[in-house]
Structure 1
């Protein structure tokens, strides 16, 4: 039996656990890439606790939320053609989920990073708009592919595969205490597909 066949069986039997595990592992990977290649840390300087925290957010928040959200969109956002359905799902995703999810994600990361309420507010004030602008450079196109071409049971995996680059960016933005919100100070991370 191939790896893909095993993955498909596991996804069918344990869809939420599979989505959570995928999201957690991919978010860990994004954080490690951020630390090693964006922040240019030496291997012995990598903060594994930070990586585990970032992955835990993927496991307990990102995976379950995306699985539930994609199921909701599949049931509730139905149009006459697959292309129109994909556009409607992408628009709903980007206008409703993305802004609220990123806001909550930033708050949760602040809590997990030990920030005070005031520090979290400042971080959101300094970085939220920049993160949303980057989101809109990447996710509308990725979600069009996801909603139009990818079967429902593989959508979280597809999104998290694209999110490897996104998670690298988010890890940098939510963990770099020296960053004060000036986009020109961020090492260039290409989010283009």
Structure 2
């Protein structure tokens, strides 16, 4: 009984109220900025982890900050796309019926996934000042590997996302799953670069 009173006091404390307020501001009032921030952080962290692994494996000598910066910016552009994708999918297919969830998952995989991959490589091509042929070659050579991997990871993850997760937390959930995928994405994108160094 003593523990129950202690827990009740904690739940009624100002700190918990402030956390609730911050959460409400982040995930309601400024949801787009929150989603973009989460996506960019996940991309940056994924690249940082991948680079540390490459350093440990003696594939590179030191951390390339510009590479992480570029991956962070790609997280911003992909984060914007994901934010609006989830928003419009919920408008087009409201509710949590199995039929609507399957439609959302299929649209996410067949339409949005290739768009995200193209946007990812496109953002990096602009930042790296690559020409059109380099961009096109990268999408053809590396994009299919990411797309194949996405079919292994995202359909089951998105079933959970569309069925259980409230809409305002979908990009957050997506990025919790995506951290591992962001590491793999960084590896695929920079695989040749690492081997040449």
Q: Which residue of 2 aligns with 1:67?
A: 83
Question: For residues 85 and 67 of structure 1, do their structure 2 counterparts lie closer, same or farther at Cα, with a shift above 3 Å needed?
Answer: same
Q: Which residue of 1 aligns with 2:147?
A: 132
> Superposed, which structure 2 residues align to 1:105-144 within 5 Å?
105-144=120-159
Question: For residues 35 and 70 of structure 1, do their structure 2 counterparts lie closer, same or farther at Cα, with a shift above 3 Å needed?
Answer: same
1:23 alignment partner, one of 20, 39, 45: 39
For 1:34 and 1:124, locate their aligned partners in 2 and report how far apart those are by CA, in whole Å.
20
CA contact (8 A) 2:55 2:62 kept: no
> Superposed, which structure 2 residues align to 1:28-177 within 5 Å?
28-38=44-54, 40=56, 45-59=62-76, 61-78=77-94, 82-177=97-192
Aligned-CA RMSD value: 2.3
For normalisation by structure 1, the TM-score amounts to: 0.82
For 2:49 and 2:24, locate their aligned partners in 1 and report how far apart those are by CA, in whole Å.
27
For 1:170 and 1:88, locate their aligned partners in 2 and report how far apart those are by CA, in whole Å.
26
For 1:129 and 1:56, locate their aligned partners in 2 and report how far apart those are by CA, in whole Å.
22
For normalisation by structure 2, the TM-score amounts to: 0.81
User: Tell me, what secondary structure is at the counterpart of 1:45?
Assistant: coil
Shift, 1:38, TM fit = 4.9
Question: For residues 44 and 7 of structure 1, do their structure 2 counterparts lie closer, same or farther at Cα, with a shift above 3 Å needed?
Answer: farther
CA distances 1:107-152 after superposition (whole Å, capped 9, x unpaired): 2222323333222222222112211111101111111111111000
* Bigger share in helix: 2
